[in-house]
Structure 1
Amino acid sequence: MKLSTLRYFVTVADTQNIWKAAALLFNSQPNLSRAIHSLEAELGTELFERTPRA
């Protein structure tokens, strides 16, 4: 588990929006999504309830 992945997780949780988190972290949304999916796989649980974009 990387520290950057935990930082991504906390920022997404705080903003409740992966696009906003990516902008704040100067990173891309796909990169954050991959990192979150990797963290979920490592922990063996879903960390966020995903909803379709409106």
Structure 2
Amino acid sequence: MTTTTQIEAVERAARVRRAARQLGTASTDLKDAALLRIADAIEAETNALLAVNGPELE
């Protein structure tokens, strides 16, 4: 029996593969811009990320 979690994991993996292929053909400028946006998002959500993952980091 396939669980919802397994289905979500398979779907997420497929999205990651598609994104990886797209990033592989993207320009350096586009990749740099994407990384900066990711870094900004992580910084903006630092408190929430630590609240959820903090116990695992200790």
Give your verdict on TM over 0.5.
no
Bigger fraction of residues in helix: 2
Larger radius of gyration: 2
> Higher RCO, 1 or 2 (CA under 8 Å, sep at least 6)?
1
TM-score (normalizing by structure 2): 0.35
TM-score (norm 1): 0.37
